[in-house]
Structure 1
Amino acid sequence: MSTDGWRRFGAYGADRDAGNVHGGEALGRALEDALERLITEGGIKSPVTTRRGLMARMRYLTTHQGGPAALAEAGVTATAATLRAWMKGTRRPLPANAEAVDTAYWNLRARNVLANPGPLKQHLNRGGRGTAIEIHPINQDVVLETRRRELRVRRIQGRYIWDDAVDALAAGNAAALAGIWVDAIQELDSDWGAYTYVSHLGLGA
């Protein structure tokens, strides 16, 4: 897209592709993906359909604050005695209840990870080395042909932005994420404006 097109995004048709978004929005999505990986990769690996997987989930749900509420929200209405039997492995829940226990576990784990963003910040900061960001430019097929320009996938090393970015994500502060993104791409020098809007961001984390 022409050098001034990013300043008036959509003036030449770039907004006709819903996948073309401000880098701040794409950064938020990339952080959500990283958070989801942190939640799942650090979670219980055994399926809830196994005795070990069920007992591990029940142990988590009964020893962490918010567990009973998470079970109720997932639709588990079993008595306290039944819950204890599930946790000890002396009884097995019906498939629908096992699925609900699994839902309750992942919902509670997600809330607990979100409430303590420190590990995600540490993961992205990597002791000051930062995390690589792969920047995919906007789809220019929808842009007026005379305003298209040659853009390629770029890669930058994001350093010293992650604490603020994770806090902005947790607060739902889109404006802060947008500002962080504009600051981050300054290292692209004169070409930075062309990457204010992107189609996708990938994090090397």
Structure 2
Amino acid sequence: MPDRNHEFGKYGAQGIKGYEAAARQLDTLVEFIATPVTQRRGMLARLHYLTRTEHARAAARQAGLKVTDRTLKRWADGKATPSKKSLAQLEAAYRQVRRQNVARHLLQRLNRGGRGTRVEFHPLNQSQVPRPYQRAVTFRSLNVRHWDRMVQAWAAGDNEAMDDAWFTGITADLGSDYGSYEYVMNIGFAA
């Protein structure tokens, strides 16, 4: 079993953790609100999403939105403007609640009744690595049938669990060189 990279980039390799690339791809599948939170329209859309029901308000509070209902109403009515810190808090809460709300549906789409989803692994960039230190890493594709651990960790925002699900769950099916895909340039899949 290959060990995890402890000094990634020491010789000039470039890339990101595979679970981070997969999380980015999952984020693109979720279809978050496109208008930035810094614009009034984007802020109001997020407020509406987080406050339209009592359940949504409770989820927003649990996700870290620490302002009172009165303050939320003042923001919605345009009587007050949120600070940068409050806008960041609003955006973080919105993203977490949105992930939790769509996780079950997304999991069904990715697992496709046991058929899974084809994933493309684009290897790390070794163009700056001296020839003797380069690894033989190529483009790979794999049909991933079990997304449960990855999607649950992504919905919870748990990076450590996502890393574990990626490294021991998804890439383990690549065979003996799965450790070579701990870092990648990109991960591609659609659902």
Task: Compute the TM-score of the two structures, normalised by the length of structure 2.
Answer: 0.62
Compared CA separation, residues 106 and 35, structure 1 to 2 (3 A): farther
Distance change in 2, residues 1:47/1:185 (3 Å): same
Name the CA distance, whole Å, in 2 between partners of 1:162 and 1:70. Answer: 23
Aligned to 1:122: 108
The percentage of aligned residue pairs carrying the same residue is 21
Offset at 1:112?
1.7
Shift of 1:133: 1.7
2:173 corresponds to which of 184, 195, 198? 184
Aligned to 1:3: none
- Spell out, residue by residue over 1:126-167, the C-alpha distance to the aligned partner (whole angstroms, 9 max, x if none): 452403223224516324x34546654x13133213223334
Aligned-partner SS, 1:112:
helix
Q: Which has the larger radius of gyration?
A: 1
Partner amino acid for 2:106?
L
How many aligned residue pairs are there? Answer: 178
The C-alpha deviation readout for 1:68-127, integer Å capped at 9, x for no partner, is 677864xx57x82x643554xxx4245x52766654442222222444532332343345
Residues 159 and 141 of structure 1: CA distance in aligned 2, closer, same or farther (over 3 Å): same
Which amino acid letter does the alignment assign opposite residue 36 of structure 1? D
Instruction: Return the offset for 1:67.
Output: 3.9
- Find the counterpart in structure 1 of residue 93 from structure 2: 108
Report the TM-score when normalising by structure 1: 0.59
The verdict on how the C-alpha distance between 1:8 and 1:124 changes in structure 2, with shifts beyond 3 A counting, is closer
d(CA) in 2 for partners of 1:57, 1:177 = 30
- Once residues 67 and 165 of structure 1 are traced to their aligned partners in structure 2, the CA distance between those partners, rounded to angstroms, is 22
Unaligned regions of 5+ residues in structure 2, if any?
Answer: none
Matched, 1:162 2:147: yes
Return the alpha-carbon distance in structure 1 between the equivalents of residues 86 and 34 of structure 2: 13
2:78 aligned residue (85, 92, 98): 92
1:43 alignment partner, one of 29, 33, 42: 33
Write out aligned runs for 1:52-91 (5 A): 53-62=42-51, 63=53, 64=56, 65-67=58-60, 73=66, 80=70, 83-84=72-73, 86-87=75-76, 91=77
The structure with the largest helix share of the pair is 1
User: How well do the aligned residues superpose, as a CA RMSD in angstroms?
Assistant: 4.1
Contact 2:124 2:184 in 1 (8 A): yes
Give the partner amino acid of 2:97.
Answer: N
